[in-house]
């Protein structure tokens, strides 16, 4: 699940902070592990490859959460690859990393694409423009841009009007062919199809296939006014709901929303006046229709006319683009992916890795690209990849493997870009609510049975450690204090 700092983008990236680190609650199978070597008599035996013992504060936090020691997989390393581990407990076992897998995707992307890489969305004009009317079709070709949000769609269509086009006699054609993705059930992962974090990737991903519904109380009129972005053509939405005197607890349930008809969204309840202004991000219930409705709705809002329709199709082979709209650079894009754990943006980036090499991006091809890169740059057995975001029950990586990746990243030319994309303890992103007192740049990961952190921890003397800690257990999220204790302990190591 995701959070962000920007206006419209912000709320779409944050379905809601269900967990203190701002990740997705989702069903995930625990993976209890067995260990076979020695420890003091009061503790379970450790694996032969273990180094050191868990700090007492970590042990105590695990006990309070009723999580066994063997559910924690941790490694503390120096940034130099040749140095031995300071702490290694169950670090060799592949486990579900949740969103820590985004470190693999973003690290590979920084090296394979480069920090200055941008996505370009070309626009094609077929036919002549006469007296403000295009006598033909307009084409938008998606290239996988992870952040084609409302503001940028508005700018794109304003540039179309800058070509002298106010009316399109033909169609607006949307080309999604850059990605080859099988259709999927939006609620298949956790039964929450209206959560924006469950949005499927798309070569032409418009506003994360999500609506931002804003409720603004008007006490004088005893109602809350409703504003919606982006405007969706052909979708009816109430302009207001009654105010209530209820406490602002679960205002969404009180609205009694009905999403069953994608063309007519209803609210049968009321909105608590005590809530003040609220913005509710909702994944559109008919995601395959979203881009067409959003493009037409925005075109109409800008005063444009369309005689034909908005439809999916492909750009004719001999047509040259009239212009292209560029995304932010990859170095900026990965800040949203890592700091705010944006799943669909990570999947867009993952697919782009094979799209750039093979012309069309697919999950299978991107797995091959990343695994080949891992063998060449990181070494050892590559992780088990699914979609590259960690929103998966199948992805697996060991704490040792992830630590090795962070050591390689530390020595790479794009180290500063990766580190600046990681949340900072107690300050921003998904670590804003962290209780750790240490200064650390750490990616977080969370599913229902998974919690973890991975990144770099600073000491008072200026030393920097690589820390990876992953919990796989039904009570993993209750044991987050153990991870905070590990971060604080790492910062105190000489």
Q: Which CATH class is domain 120-185+288-326?
A: alpha beta
Work out the average pLDDT over 124-142: 97
Assess contact for 163 and 321: CB atoms under 8 A.
Answer: no
Q: Give the model confidence (pLDDT) of 346-392 as tens digits.
A: 999 999 999 999 999 999 999 999 999 999 999 999 999 999 999 99
Residue 48 pLDDT: 62
Q: Give the model confidence (pLDDT) of 456-493 as tens digits.
A: 999 988 999 999 999 999 999 999 999 999 999 999 99
C-alpha–C-alpha distance, residues 339 and 144, integer Å: 20
Q: Is the pLDDT of residue 42 over 70?
A: no
Name beta bridge partners: 282: 211
Q: Where in the chain is the domain with CATH 3.40.710.10?
A: 7-116+329-491
Residue 47 pLDDT: 63
Q: Is the pLDDT of residue 36 over 60?
A: no
User: Which band of pLDDT confidence, cut at 50, 70 and 90, is reported for residue 41?
Assistant: very low
* CATH code linked to domain 7-116+329-491: 3.40.710.10
Tokens linked to 81? 């690859």
Q: Is the pLDDT of residue 18 over 80?
A: no
Work out the average pLDDT over 277-289: 96
Q: Where in the chain is the domain with CATH 3.50.80.20?
A: 120-185+288-326
Residue 46 pLDDT: 53
Work out the average pLDDT over 73-87: 94
User: Which band of pLDDT confidence, cut at 50, 70 and 90, is reported for residue 170?
Assistant: very high
Q: Is the pLDDT of residue 31 over 90?
A: no
Work out the average pLDDT over 38-62: 72
Work out the average pLDDT over 162-166: 98
Work out the average pLDDT over 252-257: 96
Please give the angle made by the CA atoms of 140, 142 and 148, to the nearest 5 degrees. 95
Work out the average pLDDT over 432-447: 93
> Burial code of 362-385, b = ≥16 C-beta within 10 A, e = fewer?
bbebbbbbbbebbeeebeeebbbb
Mean residue pLDDT of the chain comes to 91
Residue 350 pLDDT: 98
Residue 24 pLDDT: 33
Q: Give the model confidence (pLDDT) of 209-254 as tens digits.
A: 999 999 999 999 999 999 999 999 999 999 999 999 999 999 999 9
Question: Which H or E run includes 253?
Answer: helix 251-255
What's 227's DSSP letter? Answer: E
Q: Give the model confidence (pLDDT) of 384-398 as tens digits.
A: 999 999 999 999 999
Q: Is the pLDDT of residue 159 over 90?
A: yes
Residue 82 pLDDT: 85
Residue 9 pLDDT: 45
Assess contact for 444 and 21: CB atoms under 8 A.
Answer: yes
3-state secondary structure (DSSP) of residue 340? coil
**What DSSP assignment string belongs to 425-488?**
TTTSGGGTT----S-EEEEEEEETTEEEEEEEEE-TTS-EEEEEEEEESTTGGGGHHHHHHHHH
């Amino acid at each position: 699940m995701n959070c962000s700092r920007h206006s419209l983008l912000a709320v779409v990236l944050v379905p809601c902070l269900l967990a203190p680190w701002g990740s997705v609650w989702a069903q995930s199978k625990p993976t209890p592990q067995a260990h076979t070597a020695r420890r003091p008599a009061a503790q379970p035996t450790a694996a032969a490859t273990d180094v050191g013992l868990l700090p007492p504060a970590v042990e105590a936090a695990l006990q309070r959460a009723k999580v066994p020691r063997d559910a924690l997989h941790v490694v503390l390393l120096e940034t130099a690859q040749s140095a031995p581990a300071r702490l290694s407990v169950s670090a060799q076992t592949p486990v579900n990393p949740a969103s820590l897998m985004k470190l693999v995707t973003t690290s590979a992307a920084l090296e394979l694409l480069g920090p200055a890489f941008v996505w370009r969305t070309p626009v094609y004009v077929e036919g002549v423009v006469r007296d403000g009317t295009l006598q033909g079709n307009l084409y938008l070709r998606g290239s996988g841009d992870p952040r084609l949000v409302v503001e940028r769609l508005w700018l794109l269509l304003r540039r179309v009007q800058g070509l002298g086009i106010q009316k399109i006699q033909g169609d607006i054609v949307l080309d999604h062919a850059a990605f080859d993705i099988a259709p999927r059930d939006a609620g298949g992962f956790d039964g929450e199809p209206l959560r924006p974090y469950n949005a499927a990737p798309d070569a032409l991903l418009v506003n994360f296939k999500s609506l931002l519904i804003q409720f603004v109380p008007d006490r004088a009129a005893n109602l809350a006014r409703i504003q919606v972005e982006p405007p969706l053509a052909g979708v009816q939405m109430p302009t207001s709901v009654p105010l209530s005197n209820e406490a602002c607890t679960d205002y969404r349930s009180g609205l009694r929303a009905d999403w069953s008809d994608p063309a007519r969204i209803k609210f049968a309840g009321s909105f608590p006046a005590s809530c003040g202004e609220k913005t509710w991000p909702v994944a559109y219930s008919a995601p395959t229709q979203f881009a067409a409705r959003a493009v037409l709705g925005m075109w109409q809002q800008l005063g444009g006319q369309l005689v034909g329709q908005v439809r999916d199709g492909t750009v004719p082979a001999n047509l040259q683009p009239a212009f292209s709209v560029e995304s932010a650079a990859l170095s900026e894009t990965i800040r949203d992916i890592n700091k705010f754990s944006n799943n669909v943006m990570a999947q867009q980036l993952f697919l782009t890795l094979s799209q750039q090499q093979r012309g069309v991006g697919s999950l299978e091809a991107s797995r091959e690209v990343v695994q080949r890169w891992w063998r060449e740059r990181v070494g050892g057995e590559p992780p088990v990849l699914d979609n590259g975001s960690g929103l998966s029950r199948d992805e697996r990586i060991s704490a040792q493997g992830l630590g090795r990746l962070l050591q390689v990243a530390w020595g790479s030319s794009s180290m500063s870009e990766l580190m600046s994309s990681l949340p900072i303890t107690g300050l921003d992103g998904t670590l804003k609510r962290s209780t750790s007192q240490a200064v650390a740049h750490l990616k977080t990961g969370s599913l229902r049975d998974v919690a973890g952190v991975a990144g770099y921890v600073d000491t008072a003397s200026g030393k920097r450690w690589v820390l990876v800690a992953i919990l796989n257990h039904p009570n993993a999220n209750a044991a987050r204090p153990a991870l905070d204790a590990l971060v604080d302990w790492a910062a105190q190591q000489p």
